[in-house]
Structure 1
Amino acid sequence: MDQIKRKPNRLKNYDYSQNGIYFITICTNNRKPVLSQIFVGAGIARLHALQLTNIGLVADKGIKGIEKHYENVFIDHYVIMPNHVHLLLRIERPGGRAMLAPTVSRIVQQLKGYVSKQSGKKVWQKSFYDHVIRDEQDYFTKWQYIDKNPLKWCEDELYQQSFI
């Protein structure tokens, strides 16, 4: 039986513990909407409201805890969507890379482990997606993407009117 070969998610030969800003996307297991609910308003403004579930609250606590747990690692911006999370994660160590600096993969692994352990469920899909921020415009574009993501939720192919 042939095994499916997975495309590598990380840049080859890139040091993910070095100073930089990373746009991270972490998806839930089977893309189930277990993290939050988005309520789409009616009328011209179509205001949206995002409400975290209990698992989403745990994820929020875990994300906020990253800066406390890792020196010189910062969460610049994030959003917890129903079936995924977007983060702008910044590693900023004076003098560059420390000998035992955590990698982006390690930080995400610990966040995912914390949320799953606290909720008592397998919350996340395997791996995550990353994009290394290249310049100020790239940073601004990803920041806006995070801001606008809840507004675009009803256009998502996995959007469901009723919460599961």
Structure 2
Amino acid sequence: MDFEPEKHHRHSIRVQGYDYNQGLFFLTLCTYQREHLFGEIVNNEIRLNRFGEIVLETWEWLSVKYTFVELDMCVVMPNHFHGILHLKGTDIEPSKPNLKTLGSIVGVLKTVSTKKINLIRNSPVTPIWQRNYYEHIVRNDNDLDRIREYIANNPATWETDLNNNWQK
């Protein structure tokens, strides 16, 4: 019996009926083909290269550019990024309806960082990020504390991280 897995049938992990225009979210974005682009782990600490610095600068720029975005902890790893983002729905500017959702903010982060990195690489169409991203709605203070601890410890657990076994 031949079995061919279904292609391009992604199941949404979105919570039905949840307002993704506001809330506290834990994000994970991975590099294209899990390529180690952003630096390296040395003595359980991340040492960002210029590309990793661009990702961090772009993340920090989001709260400057958009009054409805508030940032919490983040970590740029060699081939992925974790961050906690708060979208304050009441402060969203009605004149910018396409920048209201979590997906649109993640899109801005990916687009801006990709353009800056590819400018340095002189390679305007090379992908930096995997399509899509993972998000988790932060539900309470215990959840937030657990996620903050995970982010803080991420570099120290790199040797056992499944993301580390991809491309080096």
Shorter-chain TM-score: what band? 0.7 to 0.9
Which protein has the bigger helix share? Answer: 2
The CA distance in 1 between the partners of 2:7 and 2:46, in whole Å, is: 40
**What is the RMSD of the two structures over their aligned residues, measured on CA atoms?**
2.0
Corresponding residue number in structure 1 for 2:139: 134
The CA distance in 2 between the partners of 1:11 and 1:129, in whole Å, is: 13
Q: What are structure 2's unaligned runs of at least 5 residues? A: 119-125
- Percent identical residues: 28
For residue 146 of structure 1, the aligned residue among 151, 154, 160 is 151
Taking a change above 3 Å as real, the CA distance of residues 113 and 97 of structure 1, as seen in their structure-2 partners, is: closer
Corresponding residue number in structure 1 for 2:123: none
Taking a change above 3 Å as real, the CA distance of residues 93 and 14 of structure 1, as seen in their structure-2 partners, is: closer
The CA distance in 2 between the partners of 1:52 and 1:149, in whole Å, is: 14
Corresponding residue number in structure 2 for 1:64: 60
Displacement after TM superposition at 1:33 (Å) = 1.1
Corresponding residue number in structure 1 for 2:19: 15
Displacement after TM superposition at 1:76 (Å) = 0.8
Contact 1:9 1:128 in 2 (8 A): no
TM-score, length-scaled by structure 2: 0.83
The CA distance in 2 between the partners of 1:85 and 1:78, in whole Å, is: 7
Contact 1:63 1:111 in 2 (8 A): yes
Taking a change above 3 Å as real, the CA distance of residues 74 and 118 of structure 1, as seen in their structure-2 partners, is: same
Corresponding residue number in structure 1 for 2:129: 124
Q: What are structure 1's unaligned runs of at least 5 residues? A: 41-47
Q: 1:105 is aligned with what amino acid?
A: G
The CA distance in 2 between the partners of 1:74 and 1:4, in whole Å, is: 33
- Kindly tell me the number of residue pairs found equivalent between the two proteins: 153
Contact 1:38 1:153 in 2 (8 A): yes
Partner SS, residue 110 of structure 2: helix
Q: Any idea what the Cα deviations from partners look like across 1:29-71, whole Å, max 9, x if unmatched?
A: 011111121013xxxxxxx221112211110110010101110
Corresponding residue number in structure 1 for 2:122: none
